C-alpha cells in the first residue's frame, strides 16, 4: 500500500514539473532581459564666476511714514460714519461725525451775545468821540465783545472736534465704531496708515558704522513675496548707539508703489555696499536642502565606453549669500560645472538625464517687480 502511495506522489511531482517548466523558463528569460534605462528631463545651468556687490545682512520691520489710530478728542455719540473699511482717504476727509446738537444751540446763543456786544462796542466808540462816555466804559464794552467772540470760537472748535477728519492721506483699516455708540476720549475708531512711501527700520552692529552712509541701496525680502525683492535707499542713521547691544539704528525708504509692504511686516534686509567681490554663482533652484546639508546634482558624461548618455552625481556644497534668483557656492563646485537647475527632487546618484532648457524660467539677478 505504501509503495502505491509513493508511486502516486512521484507521478504528481513529475507531471507538475513538466507543466511548470515553460513558465519557469519564461520568467528566467524576462529576468535576463536588460532593464530599460530611465531618463529624467531637467534644466541645466553652468556655475560661473561673477562679481556681486558686497552686502551687510540684517533683519528689520516695516513702519509707515505716517500712521495713527484715529480717536476722538472729546466724548460724544456717533451720528454719522462717513468711511468704509479699507478705503483710501485724503487729508481733511470726514470720517465720523459725533452728535453736536447741544453745542450748535449753545453756539447760536454765543453768536447772539457776540453780536450784541459788537453793537454796544460800536455805539460806545461813537459816544467816546463826543466824550459822552468815559474811556473806562469803552474799555469794558470792548472786553465784553472779545469775551463773547472767544466763547463763540470755543464752541466752534468743540463742534469741529466732533467732526473727526483724516489728518493725512492714507489707507484706512477695519471700522471699530457703530452708529449710536457712545465714544470716550481716545477710544479707537479706525487705523490710518500712509503706505507710499514706507520705511524699513533695522539695527546694525557698531563695527559696520565706518561703511554706512546715507544714499546706499537697500534690498529687502520677505516670505509674503518669496520670489520678489524690493529696493530702497538708506535715508537716516541714528546719531547714537544702543548702550546695551552696541548697535546703531538705521532707516531705509521705499517708494512702495504697489503698497505690498505693510507696517509691521518682518523683512530680511541687505545693505548694498559700493565695492564688489568675486563669487561662484548658480541658480537657487539647483540647491537641494536636507538635514545633512545642501547639495546639487552635477551633470556628467556616462563613464561606460561608447555611451553618449548623461548622468548626475550628487555633490555636497556650502552656500553663501543670495542675490536675486542666484546663490553663491563657497565649496563643492568649480567654475564651468553643469548642474541640474530644475527637477532636482526626482534625481539620485547615477540617474540618466537629458537637458531641456527651452521651457525653464530664466533666473535673474534683479527679479524686482515693477514699481516696487
Inter-residue contact 174 to 70 (CB < 8 Å): no
- The mean pLDDT of the chain is 84
- Give the tens place of pLDDT for each residue, 89-119: 999 899 999 988 888 898 899 889 888 888 8
Give the three cell numbers for residue 309: 548618455
> Which pLDDT does position 370 carry in this prediction?
44
Helix spans in 101-252 (H): 101-129, 135-161
CA quadruple 322, 326, 327, 328: dihedral sign = negative
Over range 56-74, report the average pLDDT: 89
pLDDT of the residue at 365: 72
Instruction: Give the end-to-end CA distance of the chain in Å, rounded to a whole number.
Output: 99
Beta-sheet pairing, 39-42 with 352-355: parallel
Dihedral over Cα of 49, 51, 52, 55: its sign? positive
Residue 65 — left, alpha, or beta (φ > 0 → left; ψ -120 to 50 → alpha)? Answer: alpha
Exposure string of 294-311, with b = 16+ CB inside 10 Å and e = fewer, is: bbbbbbeeeeeeeeeebb
pLDDT at 368 > cutoff 70: no
Whether this model's pTM surpasses 0.85: no
Identify the structural domains of the chain with CATH numbers, from first to last.
39-52+278-355 (2.40.420.20), 56-65+196-274 (2.40.30.170), 72-183 (no CATH)
- In this model, does residue 147 exceed pLDDT 80? yes
pLDDT tens by residue, 186-244: 899 999 988 888 999 999 999 888 888 899 999 898 888 877 888 899 999 999 998 89
- DSSP secondary structure letter of residue 38: P
Q: Which of 40, 39, 41 is nearest to 359 (CA)?
A: 41
User: Does residue 123 sit in helix, strand or coil?
Assistant: helix
**Residue 34 pLDDT:** 43
The region, left, alpha or beta by phi > 0 then psi within -120 to 50, assigned to residue 26 is alpha
Q: State whether residue 172 is helix, strand or coil.
A: strand
168: its cell numbers: 493725512
Averaged pLDDT for residues 338-342: 90
- 154 phi and psi angles, rounded to 5 deg: -65, -40
Q: What's the confidence (pLDDT) of residue 123?
A: 83
The reported pLDDT for the residue numbered 372 is 40
Q: Which of 64, 98, 372, 61 minimizes the C-alpha distance to 192?
A: 64
Q: What is the pLDDT of residues 39-60, one digit of tens each?
A: 888 888 999 999 888 888 899 9
| pLDDT of res. 35 | 47
Q: Is the pLDDT of residue 362 over 70?
A: yes
Q: What is the mean pLDDT of residues 327-351?
A: 88
Other Cβ atoms within 10 Å of 78 Cβ, number? 20
| Alpha-carbon distances of 324 from 6, 57, 193, 320, 328, rounded to whole Å | 82, 14, 30, 13, 11
Largest separation between any pair of C-alpha atoms in the chain: 165
- Residue 103: predicted pLDDT: 85
Q: Tell me which long-range contacts 118-123 makes (C-beta under 8 A, separation of at least 24).
A: 118/145, 118/148, 120/144, 120/145, 121/145
Cβ neighbours around 188 below 10 Å, total: 13
On the question of a cis peptide bond just before residue 197, with omega within 30 degrees of 0, the verdict is: yes
Amino acid at each position: 500500500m505504501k509503495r502505491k502511495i509513493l508511486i502516486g506522489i512521484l507521478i504528481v511531482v513529475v507531471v507538475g514539473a513538466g507543466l511548470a517548466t515553460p513558465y519557469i523558463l519564461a520568467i528566467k528569460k524576462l529576468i535576463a532581459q536588460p532593464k530599460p534605462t530611465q531618463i529624467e528631463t531637467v534644466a541645466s545651468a553652468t556655475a560661473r564666476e561673477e562679481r556681486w556687490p558686497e552686502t551687510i545682512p540684517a533683519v528689520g520691520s516695516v513702519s509707515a511714514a505716517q500712521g495713527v489710530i484715529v480717536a476722538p478728542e472729546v466724548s460724544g455719540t456717533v451720528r454719522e460714519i462717513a468711511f468704509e473699511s479699507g478705503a483710501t482717504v485724503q487729508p481733511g476727509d470726514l470720517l465720523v461725525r459725533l452728535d453736536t446738537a447741544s453745542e450748535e444751540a449753545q453756539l447760536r446763543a454765543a453768536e447772539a451775545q457776540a453780536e450784541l456786544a459788537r453793537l454796544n462796542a460800536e455805539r460806545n466808540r461813537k459816544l467816546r468821540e463826543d466824550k459822552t462816555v468815559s474811556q473806562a466804559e469803552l474799555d469794558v464794552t470792548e472786553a465784553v465783545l472779545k469775551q463773547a467772540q472767544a466763547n463763540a470760537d470755543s464752541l466752534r472748535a468743540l463742534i469741529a472736534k466732533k467732526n473727526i477728519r483724516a489728518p493725512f492721506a492714507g489707507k484706512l483699516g477695519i471700522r471699530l465704531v457703530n452708529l449710536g455708540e457712545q465714544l470716550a476720549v481716545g477710544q479707537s475708531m479706525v487705523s490710518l496708515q500712509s503706505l507710499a512711501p514706507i520705511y524699513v527700520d533695522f539695527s546694525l552692529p557698531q563695527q559696520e558704522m565706518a561703511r554706512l552712509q546715507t544714499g546706499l541701496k537697500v534690498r529687502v525680502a520677505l516670505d509674503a513675496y518669496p520670489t520678489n525683492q524690493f529696493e530702497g535707499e538708506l535715508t537716516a542713521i541714528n546719531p547714537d548707539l544702543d548702550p546695551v547691544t552696541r548697535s546703531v539704528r538705521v532707516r531705509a525708504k521705499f517708494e512702495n508703489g504697489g503698497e505690498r509692504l505693510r507696517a509691521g511686516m518682518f523683512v530680511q534686509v541687505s545693505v548694498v555696499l559700493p565695492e564688489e567681490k568675486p563669487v561662484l554663482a548658480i541658480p537657487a533652484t539647483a540647491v537641494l536642502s536636507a538635514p545633512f546639508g545642501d547639495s546639487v546634482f552635477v551633470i556628467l558624461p556616462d563613464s561606460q565606453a561608447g555611451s553618449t548618455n548623461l548622468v548626475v552625481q550628487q555633490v555636497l556644497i556650502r552656500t553663501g549669500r543670495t542675490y536675486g534668483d542666484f546663490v553663491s557656492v563657497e565649496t563643492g563646485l568649480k567654475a564651468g560645472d553643469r548642474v541640474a537647475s530644475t527637477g532636482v527632487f526626482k534625481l539620485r546618484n547615477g540617474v540618466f538625464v537629458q537637458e531641456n532648457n527651452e521651457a525653464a524660467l530664466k533666473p535673474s539677478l534683479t527679479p524686482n517687480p515693477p514699481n516696487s
